[in-house]
């Protein structure tokens, strides 16, 4: 029997979840709920205002609305009527979100898996597992190479900048230090390079570069590279949304140095985030089918529930 899925929100993440679900043999996509009446898709589109009347037709609702305001304002209402999976990524407020979703989903007999994706999400899972292995471990997380939306926006606000993107890139020396167990002095500042690709009139290049290098909070204190390129090169090479990173954990065990590393190298941040969200959607469905209710983080979900195969198939193939 297929898992009847629906999506609320149709930005980069919602579109990626739609594309992902269409490739899964154990899901069917009932529709997309949106505030907009028309979306550029052949999936059925329904007004989000009517969503509660679809509760009987949907097994798992993928929350693909924004973390900044939509999730805090809307997620508990969805959880009261649907089993949900979200990618809420405001780390500091996850405990509060988890508590709110627990209350809303448990009372309704629904499951709510919160803060899936990769950070929070798979990186959290790896940080927890790896740090459990070392009585006195050292753990570092590196992000990138990836587009920083906030820094790209800051570049575009500089006068004369017509196109801009900023990649955050972890420094090789910092990664090597972490691997060898010398990561205790690594900070966000000294671990990451900020690489800027800018389209602008050559007459403005010196001033723009100076404004970048002296911009507090965003660039001061970081190693910064500024590259001016043509509109054509920008179009050809800098339109993607790559991301990724490393979680590196190491420590002494019986007088020996041992290191665990989890790495993501992603050409598309939203496509990969969606893939994680869909896998946890499968888990949410199974937990609900097994009679569970309430909120779960990725730390609580038995990992075999993510796989399309049964536990028996996994054990026969893999363990």
Residues near its own copies, by CB under 8 A = 16, 19-20, 23-24, 91, 94-95, 98, 115, 120, 122, 124-129, 131-136, 179, 240, 253-268, 270-272, 274-276, 279, 282, 297-304, 306-308, 311-312, 314-316, 318-319
Distance between CA 9 and CA 85 in Å, rounded?
13
- E strand intervals along the chain: 3-8, 27-34, 45-47, 60-63, 84-85, 111-113, 138-143, 146-147, 161-170, 192-200, 223-228, 243-253, 256-266, 294-296
Q: How far is the CB of 255 from its own copies (least distance, A)?
A: 8
Helix (H, G, I), strand (E, B) or coil at 168: strand
Task: Compare residues 13 and 208 and give the one whose CB is closer to its own copies.
Answer: 13
Q: How far is the CB of 103 from its own copies (least distance, A)?
A: 15
Task: Compare residues 198 and 266 and give the one whose CB is closer to its own copies.
Answer: 266
- The tokens for 43 are 């999936």
Distance between CA 130 and CA 257 in Å, rounded?
14
- E strand intervals along 37-137: 45-47, 60-63, 84-85, 111-113
- The one-character DSSP state at 39 is -
Task: Compare residues 51 and 125 and give the one whose CB is closer to its own copies.
Answer: 125
Distance between CA 26 and CA 31 in Å, rounded?
16
Q: How far is the CB of 287 from its own copies (least distance, A)?
A: 11
Find, among 126, 43, 52, 122, the residue nearest to 82 by Cα: 52
Q: How far is the CB of 160 from its own copies (least distance, A)?
A: 32
Cβ-proximal residues to 172 (8 Å cutoff; 6+ apart), any chain: none
Task: Compare residues 119 and 211 and give the one whose CB is closer to its own copies.
Answer: 119
Q: How far is the CB of 308 from its own copies (least distance, A)?
A: 7
Q: How far is the CB of 36 from its own copies (least distance, A)?
A: 21
Look at the chain and count its residues.
319
Task: Compare residues 202 and 254 and give the one whose CB is closer to its own copies.
Answer: 254
Task: Compare residues 26 and 231 and give the one whose CB is closer to its own copies.
Answer: 26
Q: How far is the CB of 220 from its own copies (least distance, A)?
A: 29
Task: Compare residues 123 and 219 and give the one whose CB is closer to its own copies.
Answer: 123
Q: Residues 162, 163, 168, 171: is their CA dihedral positive or negative?
A: negative
Do 198 and 163 touch, CB atoms closer than 8 A?
yes
Task: Compare residues 219 and 262 and give the one whose CB is closer to its own copies.
Answer: 262
Q: How far is the CB of 173 from its own copies (least distance, A)?
A: 17
Q: How many CB atoms lie within 10 A of CB 297?
A: 21
Q: Using alpha carbons only, give the angle 300, 301, 305 rounded to the nearest 5 degrees.
A: 170
């Amino acid at each position: 029997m297929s898992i009847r899925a629906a999506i609320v929100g149709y930005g980069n993440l919602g579109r990626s979840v739609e594309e992902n679900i269409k490739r899964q043999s154990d899901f069917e996509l009932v529709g997309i709920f949106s505030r907009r009446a028309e979306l550029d898709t052949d999936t059925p589109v329904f007004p989000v205002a009517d969503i509660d009347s679809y509760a009987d037709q949907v097994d798992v609702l993928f929350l693909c609305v924004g973390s900044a305001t939509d999730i805090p304002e809307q997620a508990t209402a969805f959880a009261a009527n649907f089993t949900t999976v979200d990618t809420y990524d405001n780390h500091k407020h996850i405990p509060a979100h988890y508590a709110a979703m627990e209350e809303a989903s448990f009372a309704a007999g629904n499951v709510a898996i919160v803060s899936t994706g990769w950070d929070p999400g798979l990186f959290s899972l790896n940080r927890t597992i790896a740090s459990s292995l070392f009585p006195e471990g050292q753990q570092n997380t590196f992000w990138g190479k990836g587009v920083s939306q906030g820094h790209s926006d800051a570049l575009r606000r500089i006068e004369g900048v017509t196109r801009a993107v900023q990649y955050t890139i972890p420094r090789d020396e910092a990664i090597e230090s972490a691997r060898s167990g010398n990561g205790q002095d690594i900070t966000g500042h000294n671990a990451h390079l900020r690489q800027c690709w800018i389209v602008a009139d050559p007459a403005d290049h010196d001033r723009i570069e100076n404004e970048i290098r002296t911009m507090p909070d965003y660039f001061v204190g970081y190693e910064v590279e500024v590259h001016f390129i043509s509109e054509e090169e920008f179009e050809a090479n800098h339109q993607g949304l790559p991301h990724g990173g490393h979680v590196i954990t190491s420590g002494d065990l019986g007088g020996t140095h041992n290191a665990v590393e989890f790495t993501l190298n992603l050409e598309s941040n939203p496509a990969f985030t969606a893939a994680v969200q869909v896998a946890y959607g499968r888990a949410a469905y199974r937990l609900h089918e097994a009679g569970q209710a309430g909120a779960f983080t990725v730390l609580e979900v038995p990992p075999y529930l993510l796989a399309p195969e049964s536990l028996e198939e996994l054990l026969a193939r893999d363990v």
